[in-house]
Structure 1
Amino acid sequence: MTWHAGADLLVVGTGVAGLTAALRARELGLRVLVVSKESVTVGNTEWAQGGIAVVREEERDSSDSVRRHVRDTLEAGAGLCSTAAVNTILGDGAAAVSRLRAAGARFDGSPAGTLSRTREGGHSAFRVIHAGGDATGAEVQRALVEATTTEGVPVLENHCVVELSHTEWGAVGGALVLDHAGRPGLVQSPAVLLATGGLGQLYRATTNPAVATGDGIALGLRAGAAVADLEFVQFHPTVLHTSSTERGSRPLITEAVRGEGAVLLDVHGEPVMAGRHPMGDLAPRDVVAAAINERLVETGSDSVRLDATGLGKSFVERFPTVYAACRDAGIDPLVDPIPVTTAAHYSCGGIMCDVDGRTGVTGLYAAGEVARTGLHGANRLASNSLLEGLVLGSRSAEAVLRDLRVGALRRGPVTSERLPAAAVVDRAWLRQLMSRHAGIGRHADGLREARSGLDTAAVVRPLRTREAVEDAALGLTAHALLAAASDRTESRGCHRRYDHPATDDLRWRRPNPLRLDVSGWLIRSTPEETREVA
């Protein structure tokens, strides 16, 4: 099937960033089309439990402020955040949440009629709003999908983007897609927004859904964009552990459980975080995850325990999703501590873009987890991700409108519709390789072995199916992550090198952008090439 469709903005992805952008673009009068690998309801957003970190002037702790939220974010980011990006995105947070509520999202409230707020790791105040106890992402997704349907925003469900198309002058001009039967089609648009989510499926155990295969990173790299901070993969400290052989997507035990008073204990009943950080169990995620892994090695155990028994029956109402997952596994969290371990959770890096979603490639925009705005730095502060998606989604749509009006974006014929070929590797083998060598603890020898293994195992095949497209994306994303992790010879935030345990501010307090050269090899980008989006 060969067909052509036109839009002012093509949105790839149906999470919070993508649907927010689509709705804002429609509101601005733009013709918008959304492409989704599966149903419009499927994505990383619906899996988010904790909430949205936001300082709302009308409802906040008396000592809290956007400035304090900025400070917490910068501290968690371990020196790699962009201060300007943090100020801009967090400063827009309250307005973004107001727009979301106007679209129909319902958050938990207190008896006094105000929104309930909790505290999570790295936060110095109660500023995280939530919905359904621990089902915030599901409520955000529900509201955005309902609004998208009501507004009549067209969505191509069960369509996979194979590659981005370019105009004759080098700008992005649309995308080549496959439908559910593997038939190719071309969507033409002067603006493409990548909002494809994360890359958790690179690892054996992850909190991400099956669709999180790094598609956006691969599409962006092949289109000529630079990526940065891919070495900073955040591992969530607490996912439900049920067996020593578990793999794939694992149930998340939201950080808010610790925010309400639960504590981490090792197999001997000793506190895991004692003496590790001034914030104890609510230390930033990289600190807690590393502490858990070290304790597992010390004790020879495969999990630690999250003791939430002190919360009593309020646990059931506050955390219904976690409670149900525990009960399904035969665990009663009201009586027994919950066995937990770490799992790949969030990519702090991605396609380099500014706070309006613009990348270094004309016509290409990015928002959400696939984007690297500088908000997260070396370690994302808890519950800043949904907020970033809301803010960047709206700002990206507004940027597209401005760029169209000033003539920065032009329509024109795009390059060939022929399906490309790319290197693919066995997915199960790749996950095992990445988990062994590119998890929480890394070493030059392991990273070198992983990169060599990828080169040896890769087989070039035509991208005729969604599985092949995903496997190619996982392979290229893995190469980029390993290259970035090999280059950064220090430990910082989520990136920990056993052979370089110290933080080196003199050499490495900066991003390390990578891009593909004309031959398809990953190379370092120069500051001049990325200055407009750094």
Structure 2
Amino acid sequence: MPEDSTHRSFDVVVVGSGAAGLTLALRLASSGRRIGVISKGALAEGSTLYAQGGISAVLDASDSIDAHVADTLRAGAGLCDEPAVRFTVEHSRAAIEWLIDRGVPFTPADESDETPAGYAYHLNREGGHSHRRIIHADDATGRAVETTLEGLTRRAPEITVFEHHMAVELIMTRTPAAARGHCQGVYVLDINRDTVRTFAARHVVLATGGANLAYLYSSNPHAASGDGIAMAWRAGARVANMEFMQFHPTCLYHPRARSFLISEALRGEGAVLRLADGHRFMPDHDERGELAPRDIVARAIDAEMKRTGQPHVWLDISHRDKAFIEKHFPAINAQCLELGLDMSGEPLPVVPAAHYTCGGVITDAHGCTDLDGVYAVGECAFTGLHGANRMASNSLLECIVYASAAADDIAGRDTTPLCADLPDWDESRVTDSDEEVVVAHNWQELRRFMWDYVGIVRTTKRLERALHRIELLRREIHDYYGSFRVTPGLLELRNLAQVAELIIRSALSRRESRGLHYISDYPKPLPRAMHTVLSPELGTESATAGYRPL
């Protein structure tokens, strides 16, 4: 394909620039392939940048692969795919060593630290883990990982970065050899120039993150609008377990920091959850207290807030001295002090917030989706690792391990010719919108009813109400999308509405409570754990027929 201002050609286009996307691009750079990286905002901006806690891995002699696997399976409430868990954990040390070799500045061990002897780096312990196995860079691990990979990406001659670009739609062709279609590239909105460009590619990698902005309260940055999941679904890929949305238990409750996360590492270092009267309530809900898995802690907080009528609970680490807090949590401490909160002398107000999408586009161990030429890695993918509840700090590990596996798979494939005649994006029948207020209004409506009806505790009645609302909203968005030129806000709204419907239909089909999905009508788990699998060719209505193995 001849290249001009609206057409570009690459061997691989990576949509997303977090830990998964940049790891894959850098892993492939040495293979001689031309790589384009699409970033919705600045290259480093995204969920990875704001990850605090760390990366779980078997790094100490007192720990073991079997122990990490067992902890993950236990947290996943019977729905983890054990081979996927073992594959991830077995590659955890290699993933960390690759990051260290790239220059990620993890926090070194100190004689005064509660860290297993003999390992060079400090290891935290977090909820659900039986050992200290969380390697970290103080309390800003994501920033250390992302900025390191960003610098390497910008210096790699094989990689071309497109900042402030947003993927619109995968370009699919139907062939006898690919029943669901073969991907030839992706349409991309150049946000600054307000132009949709055609990117031809032999392989497209979706590394777009989760869909947590479907909820009113989220710990994620603005980019987490489910773009990759929605695009893959519209192109014909199956998705799984979309009902399992993880709510992080401790997001700061403050009008000037509505999405500021208070890391689980605080609880790993002894922080406790209290009510306004000082009562420590987690032992009333689980014998593991504050170190219970996130689904249990989030439900406990939600229950106590509803029981007492309080708008938040309190996270208290004030029994630790100021020097300890400044050493282990410098970024969180500085942000809190800026907001007038001193966690060395007082508890912090916290609430649960949508944090992580455990379901996603179904992939194999190499990141391959149902769509020929399309890979998915990171939070937008369903690998089977997380099951019904993601264990703390397994997410960045999954990004590195599966991005590496996908890069190896792509590097081993033949370089088939690029399609020479991909069509331009057609805007001949649309106009500029004069009703942007519709986008803003629908955005707020969607996030509000998802929070109210499809949140931490669900009922069939609430879910049915949400389904009715999303069907009406999606019809309205479809009509709007067909009439006006695309904008970032419209694309994100369209994607969020699509993913919200998948979440709702998945939740309605699961007639049990398991992990992150708690429904009052069916408070107990069924004897056999099954995945919720939605398939586009059967229509979303097929989800109501039940759930099944992959």
Which residue does 1:207 correspond to in 2? 219
Partners of 2:413 and 2:85 lie apart in 1 by 23
1:156 partnered with 2:162 = yes
Secondary structure of 1:517's match?
helix
CA contact (8 A) 1:172 1:364 kept: yes
Partners of 1:337 and 1:185 lie apart in 2 by 50
Which residue does 2:314 correspond to in 1? 305
CA contact (8 A) 2:198 2:424 kept: no
Q: 2:542 aligns with which of 523, 527, 532?
A: 523
Deviation of the 1:304 alpha carbon: 0.9
AA aligned to 1:461 is Y
Deviations 1:460-515 (A, max 9, x none): 22351111111100110101100001111111001110111111133xx1111113
CA contact (8 A) 1:168 1:413 kept: no
Partners of 2:343 and 2:463 lie apart in 1 by 39
Secondary structure of 1:167's match?
strand
Deviation of the 1:278 alpha carbon: 2.9
Partners of 1:351 and 1:418 lie apart in 2 by 27
CA contact (8 A) 1:513 1:525 kept: no
CA contact (8 A) 2:252 2:258 kept: no
Partners of 2:527 and 2:488 lie apart in 1 by 42
Partners of 1:242 and 1:24 lie apart in 2 by 40
Per mean C-alpha deviation after superposition, the further-off stretch among 273-282 and 259-268 is 273-282
TM-score normalised to structure 1 length: 0.92
Which residue does 2:434 correspond to in 1? none
Find runs of 4+ consecutive structure 1 residues off by over 3 angstroms: 409-416, 520-528
CA contact (8 A) 2:378 2:398 kept: yes
1:144 partnered with 2:155 = no
CA contact (8 A) 1:210 1:249 kept: no
Partners of 1:114 and 1:262 lie apart in 2 by 25
AA aligned to 1:54 is A
Deviation of the 1:230 alpha carbon: 0.9
Partners of 1:77 and 1:337 lie apart in 2 by 30
Secondary structure of 1:398's match?
helix
What are the within-5 Å matches in structure 2 for residues 458-497 of structure 1? 458=474, 459=476, 460-462=479-481, 464-497=486-519
Which residue does 1:101 correspond to in 2? 100
Partners of 2:503 and 2:141 lie apart in 1 by 29
Partners of 2:200 and 2:14 lie apart in 1 by 12
1:456 partnered with 2:472 = yes
Which residue does 2:456 correspond to in 1? 440
CA contact (8 A) 1:108 1:115 kept: yes
AA aligned to 1:13 is G
1:229 partnered with 2:237 = no
Gaps of 5+ in 1: none
Secondary structure of 1:310's match?
coil
Secondary structure of 2:246's match?
strand
AA aligned to 2:182 is A
Distance 1:392 1:456, change over 3 A: same
Deviations 1:115-142 (A, max 9, x none): 00010000000000110x1100000001
Partners of 1:165 and 1:322 lie apart in 2 by 43
Deviations 1:177-221 (A, max 9, x none): 110222011001121110001111111111100011111111110
1:117 partnered with 2:136 = no
Partners of 1:371 and 1:333 lie apart in 2 by 36
1:264 partnered with 2:273 = yes
CA contact (8 A) 1:52 1:129 kept: yes
Which residue does 1:381 correspond to in 2? 391
Which residue does 1:274 correspond to in 2? 283
Q: 2:426 aligns with which of 418, 424, 427?
A: 418
CA contact (8 A) 1:166 1:415 kept: no
CA contact (8 A) 1:516 1:522 kept: no
Give % identity.
39
Partners of 1:76 and 1:94 lie apart in 2 by 21
Which residue does 1:83 correspond to in 2? 82
AA aligned to 1:311 is R
Partners of 2:187 and 2:326 lie apart in 1 by 46
Which residue does 1:42 correspond to in 2? 45
TM-score normalised to structure 2 length: 0.90
Partners of 1:137 and 1:285 lie apart in 2 by 19
Distance 1:33 1:205, change over 3 A: same
CA contact (8 A) 1:4 1:185 kept: yes
What are the within-5 Å matches in structure 2 for residues 50-69 of structure 1? 50-56=53-59, 60=60, 62=62, 64-69=63-68
Q: 2:18 aligns with which of 15, 20, 28?
A: 15
What are the within-5 Å matches in structure 2 for residues 321-400 of structure 1? 321-400=331-410
What are the within-5 Å matches in structure 2 for residues 247-258 of structure 1? 249-258=258-267
Deviations 1:390-439 (A, max 9, x none): 0111111111122336x7x9756446632699x97710111101000011
AA aligned to 2:521 is D
CA contact (8 A) 1:134 1:320 kept: yes
Deviations 1:223-246 (A, max 9, x none): 111111110000001111125xx8
Partners of 2:512 and 2:399 lie apart in 1 by 30
Partners of 2:95 and 2:30 lie apart in 1 by 15
CA contact (8 A) 1:234 1:286 kept: yes
Deviation of the 1:16 alpha carbon: 0.3
Work out the number of aligned pairs and report it.
517
